[in-house]
Amino acid sequence: MATSSAPGRVLAYLESAKNLTGSACGLAGLALTFTGLAGAYWPVVIAGLYGAGALLAPPARPRPPDFPDASSPLRTLRDDFARLRVYLDQADLPPAAADRLAELTELLDGLLAPGRVSDVLSADPEGVHTLSRAVHQDIPESVDTFLRARWWSGVSPGREPPERHLERRLELLRRETEELAAGLREAGSRRRQPHTRRPEDRGGP
């Protein structure tokens, strides 16, 4: 199995940004060689430029899942959330952002799990839309934006660290999800009230 996957890993590196950037820099070193500027050390110049280009290239990052429709029904939303969890597990996040993301995904998992809460949620189109937007758009876009900006922040220091923006975004999403969960619990409680009051009403004067 290891031998069969080796060609795939080689092909993936050949197509990676590190190899492409390093190759471009290596070609620049080759041009210096032809002009005579590299001198007798032209192999070292080419190898050094390739290595520098590979180091400066942005690191590889997981691709966010491609969701076909952001208005999926609740049963499909559960499957999409599972796909999102796979993507999030591959994302390299700093500890503070990872903790906030874990709190958010735990809330979403509780809301989407089959049961009493999801039964109330299925009757709330606005609530389903809010969770659908979080799963299909808000969370993957926030994480992918951080993964893109993290490399640029190292190239251009002095700006606000991108993890701070990610932490604030995840915190806002967590609060929004908590408000939705509280509303669903209240709606579920109101739905059960008529069943508990009916025996009391029959016992009245």
- Domain span at residue 39? 2-56
Return the structure tokens found at 117: 């809460």
One-letter identity of residue 46: I
Q: In this structure, are residues 20 and 57 in contact, taking their beta carbons and an 8 Å threshold?
A: yes
70 φ/ψ angles, rounded to the nearest 5 degrees: -85, 0
More confident residue, 51 or 139: 139
196 in any annotated domain? yes
Give how far Cα 113 sits from Cα of 80, 172, 190, Å: 13, 22, 21
Give residue 205's pLDDT band: very low, low, confident or very high (50, 70, 90).
Answer: very low
More confident residue, 138 or 51: 138
61 in any annotated domain? no
CB neighbour list of residue 150: distance below 8 Å, 6 or more residues apart = 162, 163
Residues 48 and 92 in one domain: no
Q: Looking at the predicted structure, is the pLDDT value of residue 85 above 60? A: yes
62 in any annotated domain? no
CA count, 13 A, side-chain hemisphere, 27: 5
Instruction: Report the number of distinct structural domains present in the chain.
Output: 2
Residues 107 and 177 in one domain: yes
Residues 79 and 45 in one domain: no
Which secondary structure element, helix H or strand E, spans residue 69, and what is its range? none
Q: In this structure, are residues 72 and 132 in contact, taking their beta carbons and an 8 Å threshold?
A: yes
Residues 91 and 183 in one domain: yes
The Cα 76–Cα 124 span in angstroms is 16
3-state secondary structure of 21: helix
Whole-model pTM?
A: 0.64
191 in any annotated domain? yes
